[in-house]
């Protein structure tokens, strides 16, 4: 690929994600590292689309993710379907599931495509954003609760944090696609940025809540996970953990925070709304069961 094509591909990633070039570059790097197949499409010598089959270390061996991005001016011209056909021929025998994702702001163009290719929707994640300059809630913890703020990656082997993470993860997406380990969560965080924050709450010395974020872009933090032990819920600890996370991010120059939650995860979405988060977009997830709908 020529340097000009590489620049065009990066611009395409940024257009599809509506993110900065810096964030798009990290996404492109991630895809290149784990892609089993990668293709671009050109019209009149101009890069207008890309496609990739990606299997990350955390994915089941019978599952692969398929991604296609087509610039707005090239849509409804058969480009996406041509790339899908090319990818379908590269999926290895023994693969059971093909996963795909889309931004719900592109529903008008994407949903007809997913129906044609038997990609069945099974999740809808909502991204909400917060202006950290307006996050003025008092972060004072309840009596008996202590707060610790630290760099997250040094905790990968911490058994107590791993246990808290596992016990606190009751989100609908975990039940649907399988639980992740704390070490997996930190690996994913490292793919998004190299500046991170972890807030830990202890009640009477025992870990009861945590909240994790990374600086995904200049002054923009992504809150990846907030969880509370089941027996400690109902006391506002998720709110306190996120308030301390917001304050720590703001102290490090953060101006905006984003977080993703399943549309059906009413508990954490209520917490976020009370803190001032407002929904800005969503991500739809699809899958195709190759036992019932083979690719070839």
* Tokens 């809808």 found at: 124
DSSP, collapsed to helix, strand or coil, labels residue 196 as strand
Which pLDDT score is estimated for 139?
A: 76
Residue 253 has pLDDT above 60, yes or no: yes
Which pLDDT score is estimated for 7?
A: 87
Which pLDDT score is estimated for 85?
A: 95
CA–CA separation, 135 vs 213, rounded Å?
16
Which pLDDT score is estimated for 2?
A: 44
pLDDT tens-digit series, residues 50-103 = 999 999 877 888 999 999 999 988 988 999 999 999 999 999 999 999 999 999
CA angle, corner 89, sides to 83 and 93, nearest 5?
140
Beta bridge partners of 201: 147, 209
Beta 220-228 vs 256-262: how paired, if at all? parallel
pLDDT level of residue 176 (50, 70, 90 thresholds)? low
pLDDT level of residue 167 (50, 70, 90 thresholds)? very high
For residue 65, give the DSSP letter: E
Using a 10 angstrom Cβ sphere, with 0-12 exposed, 13-18 middle and 19 or more buried, the burial of residue 237 is buried
Residue 293 has pLDDT above 80, yes or no: yes
All structural domains of the chain = 3-126+284-289 (3.40.630.30), 129-281 (3.40.630.30)
What are the start-end ranges of the H helices in the chain?
3-17, 21-34, 79-88, 107-116, 159-168, 172-177, 182-192, 237-251, 266-275
Which pLDDT score is estimated for 22?
A: 87
Mean pLDDT calculated for residue range 188-216: 95
């Amino acid at each position: 690929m020529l340097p000009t094509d590489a620049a065009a591909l990066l611009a395409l990633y940024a257009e599809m994600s509506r993110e900065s070039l810096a964030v798009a570059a990290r996404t492109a790097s991630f895809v290149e590292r784990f892609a089993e197949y990668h293709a671009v499409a050109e019209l009149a010598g101009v890069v207008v689309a890309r496609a990739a089959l990606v299997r990350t270390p955390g994915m089941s061996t019978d599952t692969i993710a398929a991604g296609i991005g087509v610039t707005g001016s090239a849509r409804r011209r058969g480009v996406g379907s041509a790339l899908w056909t090319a990818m379908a021929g590269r999926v290895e025998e023994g693969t059971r599931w093909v996963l795909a994702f889309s931004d719900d702001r592109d529903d008008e163009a994407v949903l007809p495509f997913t129906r044609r290719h038997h990609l069945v929707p099974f999740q809808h994640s909502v991204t909400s954003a917060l202006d950290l300059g307006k996050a003025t809630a008092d972060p004072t913890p309840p009596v008996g609760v202590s707060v610790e703020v630290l760099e997250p990656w040094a905790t990968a082997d911490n058994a107590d944090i791993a246990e808290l993470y596992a016990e606190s993860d009751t989100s609908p997406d975990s039940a649907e696609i399988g639980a992740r380990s704390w070490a997996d969560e930190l690996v994913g965080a490292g793919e998004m940025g190299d500046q991170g924050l972890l807030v830990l709450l202890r009640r009477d010395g025992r870990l009861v809540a945590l909240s994790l974020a990374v600086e995904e872009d200049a002054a923009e933090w992504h809150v990846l996970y907030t969880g509370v032990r089941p027996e400690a819920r109902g006391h506002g600890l998720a709110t306190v953990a996120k308030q301390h996370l917001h304050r720590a991010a703001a102290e490090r120059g953060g101006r905006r925070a984003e977080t993703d939650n399943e549309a059906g995860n009413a508990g954490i979405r209520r917490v976020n709304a009370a803190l001032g988060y407002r929904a800005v977009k969503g991500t739809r997830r699809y899958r195709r069961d190759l036992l019932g709908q083979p690719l070839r």
